[in-house]
C-alpha cells in the first residue's frame, strides 16, 4: 500500500472513531456559542500561514481564516490559529478540534470521498515542482536521475514524486520529513540533492534562505495541486458559509470592491449585484442564516481575493509570484466566482 493510501485509510478509520462531536450540533452554532473560529493552518509557510515577529499569523490562508470569522461572527480577529503538520491536519478536523482547515491542502477524489471531509473550493491553483542548488548544473527534472529528494511525509507530494520518477523511468531516493521546515532545513544543509513540494511552498522556502539566488526552481510541474479549505462532511450549513465567503472575495475583485471602498460602494452603488454582495439587499443572507453584512464584513476586514494575493504572495513580496492561474477568469486565470444571487 502506498504512503498516500495508508494515510487515507488511517484517516478514514479516524473519521469513524471521532465523528461524534460534529453530530452534536452545527459547526456554525458551535462557533457562535464559543465566540471564536478555530482554524487549522500550516506550521509556517511564508505567504500562506506564518506568525510574524509579533506572533500575528500572516498569509493568504490566514487571511481566509479571518474572512470566515468575519462572515460567521462579524469580527475578523476572533480566530484561533492552530498550526498542524501534514499528519495532524485531517484528524484535527475530523475530531472537531478545528472548525475549518485552511492549510494548502490539495483537493483530491480520495480526500473528498473517503475520510469524512469535503473540499469547499479552491483558493490557490498550484503544481508540484523542484528546487536545486544553482551550482548543481541541473536545469530540468529529468536530470535528477540518481538524486536524493527531500519531501514531506504523508503529503500528496510524496505520492506524486513516486508516480513521476517511476513513469519517467529514473532512480530517485526520497528522504522523508514530517514538516516542511524540516524538509527545507535538510535540503539547505546538503542532505538532499533536490527539494520537491508545491511551487508556492518552494517560493516560500527559497525566500527564507539567506542567499535565495544560490537556488533555482526548475520549470517542470509534475502535478496539478488545487489547494482549498476543507470542512467536515454532513454539515451543509457550515460548508455553505465557507464556500460563499471564498466566492464573495473573488466576486469582490470582479466588481472592483476593495477593503477601502466597500463602505462607499455599499452606501452608493445601485447595482443589484453589488447590493446583494454587500448586504444592502439582505435576501441572500436569510437563506444562509447569516447577518446581512456577512460578505461586507469579510471584504472590509481582508479585502478582495486580488488584495489577499498581492499582499501575501504577489510580485511586491519576497515570494514574487505572478497571478498565473490564480488571476481572474477575465484576465486569463481560473478564478471565477459563482453567481451570488
pLDDT in tens, 86-110: 889 999 999 999 999 999 999 999 9
Give pLDDT, residue 289.
84
Q: Residues 214, 149: contact at Cβ < 8 Å?
A: no
pLDDT in tens, 244-285: 999 999 999 999 999 999 999 999 999 999 999 999 988 888
Is a pLDDT exceeding 90 seen at residue 288?
A: no
Which of 59, 76, 60 lies closest to 68 in space, CA to CA? Answer: 76
Give pLDDT, residue 16.
39
Burial class (CB in 10 A: 0-12, 13-18, 19+), 18: middle
Give pLDDT, residue 188.
94
Name the residue with cell 491536519: 89
Give pLDDT, residue 5.
44
pTM score of the predicted model: 0.85
Q: CA dist 122 to 57, 82, 130, 277, Å?
A: 21, 21, 23, 20
pLDDT in tens, 117-149: 999 999 999 999 999 999 999 999 999 999 999
Is a pLDDT exceeding 70 seen at residue 11?
A: no
Pairing of strands 124-126, 128-133: unpaired
Query: How much is the mean pLDDT over the chain?
Result: 91
Tell me phi and psi for residue 173, to 5 degrees: -110, 110
What radius of gyration do the chain's Cα atoms show?
20
More confident residue, 288 or 182: 182
Give pLDDT, residue 282.
86
Give pLDDT, residue 1.
41
Which residues, 6+ apart, have CB-to-CB distance to 111 below 8 Å? 8, 90, 105, 117, 119, 230
Q: Residues 224, 266: contact at Cβ < 8 Å?
A: no
Give pLDDT, residue 236.
94
pLDDT in tens, 49-66: 999 999 999 999 999 999
Is a pLDDT exceeding 50 seen at residue 21?
A: no
Q: Residues 278, 266: contact at Cβ < 8 Å?
A: yes
In the three-class reduction of DSSP (H, G, I as helix; E, B as strand; rest coil), residue 239 is classed as helix
pLDDT in tens, 224-245: 999 999 999 999 999 999 999 9
In the three-class reduction of DSSP (H, G, I as helix; E, B as strand; rest coil), residue 189 is classed as coil
pLDDT in tens, 158-176: 999 999 999 999 999 999 9
Instruction: Name the pLDDT band for 25 (thresholds 50, 70, 90).
Output: low
Q: List, in sequence order, every residue forming a beta bridge with 328; answer none if it has no partner.
A: 335
Which residues, 6+ apart, have CB-to-CB distance to 57 below 8 Å? 41, 49, 50, 51, 65, 79, 81
pLDDT in tens, 179-213: 888 999 999 999 999 999 999 989 999 999 999 99
**CB neighbours of residue 320 within 10 Å:** 14
Q: How far apart are CA 279 and CA 293, in angstroms?
A: 5
Pairing of strands 215-217, 128-133: antiparallel
In the three-class reduction of DSSP (H, G, I as helix; E, B as strand; rest coil), residue 59 is classed as coil
The conformation of residue 295, written as its DSSP 8-state character, comes to: H
* Least confidently predicted of 5-9, 69-73, 273-277, 289-293: 5-9
Is a pLDDT exceeding 60 seen at residue 20?
A: no
Instruction: Name the pLDDT band for 67 (thresholds 50, 70, 90).
Output: very high
Q: Is the dihedral of CA 339, 36, 312, 117 positive or negative?
A: negative
Is a pLDDT exceeding 70 seen at residue 14?
A: no
Give pLDDT, residue 2.
44
The conformation of residue 141, written as its DSSP 8-state character, comes to: G
Q: Residues 110, 8: contact at Cβ < 8 Å?
A: yes
Amino acid at each position: 500500500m502506498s504512503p498516500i493510501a495508508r494515510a487515507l485509510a488511517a484517516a478514514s478509520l479516524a473519521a469513524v472513531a471521532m465523528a461524534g462531536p460534529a453530530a452534536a450540533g452545527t459547526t456554525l452554532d458551535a462557533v457562535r456559542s464559543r465566540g471564536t473560529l478555530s482554524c487549522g493552518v500550516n506550521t509556517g509557510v511564508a505567504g500562506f500561514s506564518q506568525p510574524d515577529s509579533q506572533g500575528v499569523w500572516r498569509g493568504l490562508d490566514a487571511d481566509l481564516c479571518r474572512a470566515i470569522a468575519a462572515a460567521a461572527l462579524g469580527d475578523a480577529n476572533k480566530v484561533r490559529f492552530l498550526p498542524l503538520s501534514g499528519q495532524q491536519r485531517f484528524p484535527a478536523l475530523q475530531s472537531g478540534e478545528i472548525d475549518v482547515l485552511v492549510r494548502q491542502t490539495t483537493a483530491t477524489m480520495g480526500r473528498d470521498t473517503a475520510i469524512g471531509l469535503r473540499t469547499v473550493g479552491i483558493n490557490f491553483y498550484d503544481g508540484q515542482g523542484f528546487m536545486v542548488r544553482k551550482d548543481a548544473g541541473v536545469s530540468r527534472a529529468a536530470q535528477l536521475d540518481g538524486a536524493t529528494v527531500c519531501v514531506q511525509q504523508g503529503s500528496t507530494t510524496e505520492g506524486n514524486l513516486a508516480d513521476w520518477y517511476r513513469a519517467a523511468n529514473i532512480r530517485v531516493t526520497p528522504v522523508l520529513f514530517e514538516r516542511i521546515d524540516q524538509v527545507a532545513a535538510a535540503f539547505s544543509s546538503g542532505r538532499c540533492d533536490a527539494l520537491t513540494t508545491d511551487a508556492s511552498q518552494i517560493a516560500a522556502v527559497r525566500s527564507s534562505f539567506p542567499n535565495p539566488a544560490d537556488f533555482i526552481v526548475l520549470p517542470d510541474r509534475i502535478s496539478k495541486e488545487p489547494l482549498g479549505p476543507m470542512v467536515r462532511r454532513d454539515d451543509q450549513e457550515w460548508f455553505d458559509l465557507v464556500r460563499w465567503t471564498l466566492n464573495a472575495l473573488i466576486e469582490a475583485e470582479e466588481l472592483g470592491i476593495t477593503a477601502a471602498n466597500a463602505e462607499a460602494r455599499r452606501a452608493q452603488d445601485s447595482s443589484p449585484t453589488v447590493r446583494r454582495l454587500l448586504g444592502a439587499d439582505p435576501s441572500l443572507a436569510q437563506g444562509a442564516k447569516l447577518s446581512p453584512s456577512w460578505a461586507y464584513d469579510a471584504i472590509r476586514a481582508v479585502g478582495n481575493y486580488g488584495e489577499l494575493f498581492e499582499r501575501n504572495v504577489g510580485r511586491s513580496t519576497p515570494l514574487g509570484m505572478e497571478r498565473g492561474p490564480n488571476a481572474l477568469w477575465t484576465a486569463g486565470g481560473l478564478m471565477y466566482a459563482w453567481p451570488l444571487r
